[in-house]
C-alpha cells in the first residue's frame, strides 16, 4: 500500500514562529514535482514534539489539502499516551489522511504486551491503515519481530518503519510477517540494505532536500537496475544522509532546507541552531552535491 520514497516532511514556521501555511503548500509542490511517493507530516522531522495539538492537527489538514489526493498522506499520530494517540489518529482519519504513522510509546517503556495492546486498541477503534514506527534510540523500547508478527494479523496494520538499525531484526520481520506487512526503512543510511532484504521503500529525512534522488533510487531498485540504484545510494543518498545527522535530527535537514531557499523557518527550542563547525561541514556538503552555490 505504501512504498517508494515517503518524505518525513519538515514543518516550516513563519518569522513569528507560527505554522507557515504557504510554506507547507510550497513544500508539497516541491516534493510532488520531484517524484516523492508520499508525504508524512508531523513526524519527528516535522518537530511534532514541539507542536501543540491544535498546530499538529492544522499541519495534517493543510498537508492533505495541498496534496489533494495526488500521493498518499500518512499523518504522524503517535504518543506515549494511548488516549492521545487515539485522538490524533481519529482526527487524521476524519481529515482524509491515507494512513497514520504511529511511534511506539516513548519514555514510559511499555512491555511487549503493552506495545501489542496499545496498537491493537488503536487499530480496532480507528479504521485507517497504520504504519508502526520502531525507533529504540529515541523511545527507549524496541518492538520485537514476534510482537510485530502478532500485530500484522490485524487487517489495518499494514507496514513498519524500522529504525532500529538492526538488519538481523529486519530480516526476521520479513521472515515472520511475509506479505502481511510492508517493511520500510526508517534510516536513510540503511536504505539499500533494507531494499535488498525485501523492504519496499523509506520514510526519509534526506528526501526533504534530494527528493528526486531518493525516489529514483528506490524506483531503479524495484525495476531491477541494481547497479544504478547502488550508484545513486553510494554517491549521493548515503553521504548526504550522514550529513543530516551531524547534529540531532531535524536540526541539519531544516538548516539545509533554509540554506537552499526552501520554506523552513527557525527550529523550536529545545532544538537549537547548529554549531559553527558543523554548519561549515554541512555547507561544504551541500556545495559538493550541487545543492548550494559555492
Q: What local confidence, expressed as pLDDT, does residue 292 receive?
A: 95
- Residue 161 known to be catalytic: yes
Write down the CATH superfamily of domain 4-226: Aldolase class I (3.20.20.70)
**88 grid coordinates:** 490524533
Q: Which of 57, 93, 116, 133 is catalytic?
A: 133
φ, ψ of residue 83 to 5 degrees: the values are -60, -45
pTM confidence score: 0.96
Q: 16 near 227, Cβ under 8 Å?
A: no
Please tell me the predicted confidence (pLDDT) of residue 66: 98
Strand ranges for 90-230 from DSSP E: 99-103, 130-134, 157-162, 182-185, 201-204
Go through the chain and tell me how many residues it has: 294
pLDDT score, position 242:
97
pLDDT of amino acid 47: 97
- Phi first, then psi: what are they for 87, rounded to 5°? -65, -50
Q: How far is CA 271 from CA 41, 49, 147, 252, in A?
A: 18, 10, 33, 11
- 109: annotated active-site residue: no
Low-confidence ranges of the chain (pLDDT < 50): none
**Set 161, 189, 236, 283: catalytic member:** 161
Residue-range domain boundaries for the chain: 4-226
End-to-end CA distance of the chain: 41
In angstroms, the CA 147 to CA 17 distance is: 40
Say what the pLDDT of residue 293 is: 92
Q: Report how far residue 188's alpha carbon sits from residue 185's, in angstroms, rounded to the nearest whole number.
A: 7
**Which pLDDT tens digit goes with each residue over 206-245?**
999 999 999 999 999 999 999 999 999 999 999 999 999 9
Amino acid at each position: 500500500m505504501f512504498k517508494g520514497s515517503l518524505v518525513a516532511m519538515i514543518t516550516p514556521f513563519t518569522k513569528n514562529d507560527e505554522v507557515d501555511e504557504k510554506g507547507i503548500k510550497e513544500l508539497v509542490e516541491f516534493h510532488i514535482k520531484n517524484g516523492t511517493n508520499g508525504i508524512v507530516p508531523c513526524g519527528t522531522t516535522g518537530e511534532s514534539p514541539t507542536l501543540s495539538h491544535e498546530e499538529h492537527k492544522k499541519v495534517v489538514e493543510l498537508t492533505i489539502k495541498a496534496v489533494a489526493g495526488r500521493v498518499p498522506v500518512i499523518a504522524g499520530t503517535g504518543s506515549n499516551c494511548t488516549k492521545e494517540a487515539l485522538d490524533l489518529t481519529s482526527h487524521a482519519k476524519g481529515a482524509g489522511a491515507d494512513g497514520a504513522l504511529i511511534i511506539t510509546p516513548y519514555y514510559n517503556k511499555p512491555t511487549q504486551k503493552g506495545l501489542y495492546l496499545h496498537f491493537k486498541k488503536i487499530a480496532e477503534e480507528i479504521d485507517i491503515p497504520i504504519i508502526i514506527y520502531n525507533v529504540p534510540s529515541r523511545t527507549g523500547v524496541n518492538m520485537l519481530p514476534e510482537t510485530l508478527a502478532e500485530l500484522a494479523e490485524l487487517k489495518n496494520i499494514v507496514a513498519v518503519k524500522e529504525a532500529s538499525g538492526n538488519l538481523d531484526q529486519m530480516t526476521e520481520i520479513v521472515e515472520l510477517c511475509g506479505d502481511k506487512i510492508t517493511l520500510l526503512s526508517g534510516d536513510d543510511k540503511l536504505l539499500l540494505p533494507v531494499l535488498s532484504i525485501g523492504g519496499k521503500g523509506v520514510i526519509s529525512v534526506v528526501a526533504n532536500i534530494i527528493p528526486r534522488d531518493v525516489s529514483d533510487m528506490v524506483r531503479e531498485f524495484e525495476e531491477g537496475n541494481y547497479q544504478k540504484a547502488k550508484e545513486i545510494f553510494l554517491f549521493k543518498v548515503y553521504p548526504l544522509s550522514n550529513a543530516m545527522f551531524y547534529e540531532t535530527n531535524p536540526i541539519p535537514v531544516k538548516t539545509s532546507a533554509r540554506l537552499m531557499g526552501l520554506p523552513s523557518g527557525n527550529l523550536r527550542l529545545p532544538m537549537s541552531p547548529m554549531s559553527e563547525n558543523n554548519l561549515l561541514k554541512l555547507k561544504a556538503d551541500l556545495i559538493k552535491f550541487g545543492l548550494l552555490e559555492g
